[in-house]
Structure 1
Amino acid sequence: MKTEFTFGDIVSVAGYENRIFYVDAWSEIERTDEWGVSEYVEFELTDAINGEFLDAYETDLRLVCRKQFAEDYLLEYDETNYPEPTGPSFHFTDDYSFGIGYAKKEAVGMTKGPKETEKTARALSAQEAAERKRETDGLLDEYNDNMRLYETFGDAEYKTKADAVMAKLRREVGE
């Protein structure tokens, strides 16, 4: 089955119009009963702001932002009236037909670009976490590059550089 959404995309969900979620995973389900076989896709989502989990059918989702633009979108996202998490539990959208026509409705707060507001503490911490992740990813790339060069050419200088990068990574994690 082909799905419209991919890992890391930001979506809104029918019944949760004032919230946005990351696509974490999906399951392609083939169900057989006495009337025949039906196929559908069920998504596992994480609230992009407060981390709450949600399972939803593909028909209940609407694309807000593709993965490659998600970080920039969230940095500018207005969290002023964002709903508080309802609890640590999982939520399942149980009305499969609710998604019909949802794509025609515009999700509240999703139709316009993000408003210019002061960065909230949550946005700043998300920005700091994203920056730390970028730095860590860069160091891991550098380490892997040096190790590949060492394994290919056997030059000890590449191994020394890789070890130095690994030491820096360990210091970063220890902070």
Structure 2
Amino acid sequence: MNKPEYTFTDLVHIAGYGSRIFKIESYRVEQCFSPSEEWTDIVYDLIDTETGAYVECDEEDLRLAGGSSVRKPMARELSGQARKDRAKRVDALLDEMNDAKVMVEMFPEDGEFKAKVEYLTIKLAEVTAEWT
């Protein structure tokens, strides 16, 4: 099995996303098979530190943010940035939740919007649990 090159909370850039910075939330190791070969992929789940958007990415498209010429942030700076990131994620989830609730009121027979509210409730609980 391949050992992941990056780990949880690493700040990284993704090829094709310019200078945007993402935080690694989790990863999975996928064992793939075909009749003529087999290989292992490592897929990372990332969160955009500015927008809170979720992205999946293969390992080969990542590189650590802040090269050797850039001073690494102190622990206090990272914790402050982490609080800001979480607050942005909560705000985005709440906005999405409010929109979904409006759609439930407008279309009560459509279970998709109710499921979206339930999903967002779970996601909000996960994000706010990180603060405890």
> Partner of 2:4 in structure 1?
3
Matched to 2:51, the amino acid is: N
For the 8 Å contact 1:8–1:70, the answer to whether it is kept is: no
RMSD: 3.1
Matched to 1:30, the amino acid is: Q
Could you tell me the TM-score, scaled by structure 2's length? 0.51
- Give the whole-Å Cα distance in 2 for the aligned partners of 1:44 and 1:70: 23
Matched to 2:12, the amino acid is: V
> Partner of 1:126 in structure 2?
84
Structure 2 gap segments, 5+ residues each: 67-72, 88-131
> Partner of 2:60 in structure 1?
59
- Give the whole-Å Cα distance in 2 for the aligned partners of 1:12 and 1:30: 25
Structure 1 outlier segments of 4+, above 4 Å: 68-71
Structure 1 gap segments, 5+ residues each: 76-122, 130-172
> Partner of 1:27 in structure 2?
28
Alpha-carbon offset, residue 71 of structure 1:
6.1
- Give the whole-Å Cα distance in 2 for the aligned partners of 1:29 and 1:71: 35
Number of positions where the alignment pairs a residue of Structure 1 with one of Structure 2 = 80
- Give the whole-Å Cα distance in 1 for the aligned partners of 2:22 and 2:10: 8
Q: How does 1:137-156 map to 2 (within 5 A)?
A: none
Whichever of the two has the greater Rg, that structure is: 1
Residues 52 and 32 (structure 1 numbering): CA distance in 2 closer, same or farther, change over 3 Å?
same
Residues 90-111 of structure 1, C-alpha deviation per residue, up to 9 Å, x if partnerless? xxxxxxxxxxxxxxxxxxxxxx
Matched to 1:54, the amino acid is: V
Residues 104-156 of structure 1, C-alpha deviation per residue, up to 9 Å, x if partnerless? xxxxxxxxxxxxxxxxxxx7x729x6xxxxxxxxxxxxxxxxxxxxxxxxxxx
> Partner of 1:72 in structure 2?
77
Could you tell me the TM-score, scaled by structure 1's length? 0.39
- Give the whole-Å Cα distance in 2 for the aligned partners of 1:50 and 1:70: 22
